[in-house]
Amino acid sequence: MNEMNKILDTYNLVAGGVVTLLAAIFGQYWYLFAIFLLLNLFDYITGYMKARKLKKESSSVGLAGIIKKLGYWIVIATAFLTAFALTALGKDILNIDLSFLALLGWFTLACLLINEVRSILENLVEYGLDVPYVFIEGLAVTERLLNEKTNNTFGNGEEMEEKSDE
């Protein structure tokens, strides 16, 4: 029994350390980034499964997929860093409350989460698995609501186009 306690203590120490590190890096909602990373892995695996079944395996396509995933992480980091910088600029120098810009990072993460799930589902369908329609349709509804909320929060860009035309 003493050996089992040592194993559990070691597991708790490692798991606690990992969670603490993730929370320190990604903040209170670290688990959303962990989910995105897991979805990246699932997408890569299901893409490989599909390619293998269709006999279209290619190391260059696989490498391009990995680079694309890294690009997504750069987009997310850029969105959060931009929001942080502009919020600080507004608060510290311009005396303007730009705290709503924190939503840039969260909307970006949400959109990329949806894209990853869509890609996983597409891979599974092309592999030959039946994906419940309710899952696919629910994802479409979620994407539509997210786009509406984004347009309501940040506008749809038409205002900027009108100003640039003047």
Q: What is the pLDDT of residues 70-97, one digit of tens each?
A: 999 999 999 999 999 999 999 999 999 9
| Structure-token pair, residue 51 | 């390619």
Instruction: Give the model confidence (pLDDT) of 97-114 as tens digits.
Output: 999 998 999 999 999 999
The number of beta carbons lying within 10 Å of the beta carbon of residue 112 is 19
In contact, 60 and 46? CB cutoff 8 Å: no
Ranked by mean pLDDT, the top range of 1-10, 129-138, 147-156 is 129-138
Confidence of residue 160 (pLDDT cuts 50, 70, 90): very low
| Complete DSSP assignment for 13-51 | HHHHHHHHHHHHHH-TTHHHHHHHHHHHHHHHHHHHHHH
- The average pLDDT across 46-52 equals 94
- Give the chain's largest Cα–Cα span: 78
**110-112-113-117 Cα dihedral, nearest 10 degrees:** 140
Considering the entire predicted model, what is its pTM? Answer: 0.76
Radius of gyration (C-alpha) of the chain in whole angstroms: 21
